[in-house]
Amino acid sequence: MDFPKINSSTITKISPWVSIYEKEVQFDADKKIELYHSIVQADYVGILAITTDDKIPVIRQYRPAVEEYTWEFPAGTIDEGDDPFEAASRELREETGLAVKSLHQIGKYFPDTGRSSFRSFGFFAVCHTNPVNVPEEGIEVRYVTLSELLSMIKTGEFNHQLHIALLTSAFVHGDLDSKLFSL
């Protein structure tokens, strides 16, 4: 018998957005079964976009989970039946009003391997400079240079951990030129 072994699992739906996943795990034949819990939600997309005039759209919205307004990249969950590319294009358009000129995936991540059971897909997009739609209600869009974004990260104004990782992935994959990182 191969270990670790999932002996049983149940999912309890808490809301339309969140479920709790409970698993009984046995790590060895001589070990007792241990109980683990994780949060389940739909898979997620985050999009680092840059306009044709080298501006990065960041959005500000109120986040009840942390009880404050946050600056972050356009992002959202993947609707049932969508693939990550469709979701990324949709979320970018809904939250910034921008149309995608080019879009490619730069990562597939597990946001928190100890407490969550969903994937996060990172995308890099090049967008036309002028919005084609009005952003969703409750969202403020700001266009910043890479230098301004880095300053926002340094001061803690932009503090979404997954989105800072997305910026790093874009650099590692060559989507952002290293000379743009100088302040």
What does the pLDDT read at residue 166? 96
- Tell me the sheet residues that pair with 103: 125
Residues 89 and 134 placed together within one structural domain of the fold: yes
- Find out whether the peptide bond into 4 is cis, omega within 30 degrees of 0: yes
Q: Quick one: average pLDDT of 81-96?
A: 96
Encode burial over 93-122: b for 16+ CB neighbours within 10 A, e otherwise: bebbbbebeebeebbebebeeeebbbebbb
60 and 29 within one domain: no
Same domain, 123 and 162: yes
Residue 82 and residue 148 share a domain: yes
Tokens of 6: 């999932």
- Whether residue 51 is predicted with pLDDT greater than 80 in this model: the reply is yes
pLDDT higher than threshold 90 for residue 19: yes
79 and 10 belong to one structural domain = no
Contact 79, 167 (CB under 8 A): no
Same domain, 116 and 136: yes
d(CA 55, CA 114): 35
Domain encompassing residue 36: 5-40
Closest CA to 167 of 123, 135, 112, 120: 123
Lowest mean pLDDT among 107-111, 121-125, 131-135, 141-145: 131-135
Number of domains in the chain: 2
At CA 166, angle to CA 19 and CA 63, rounded to 5?
Answer: 50
Say whether both 31 and 88 belong to one domain.
no
**pTM for the predicted model, two decimal places:** 0.89
Residues 70, 31 share a domain: no
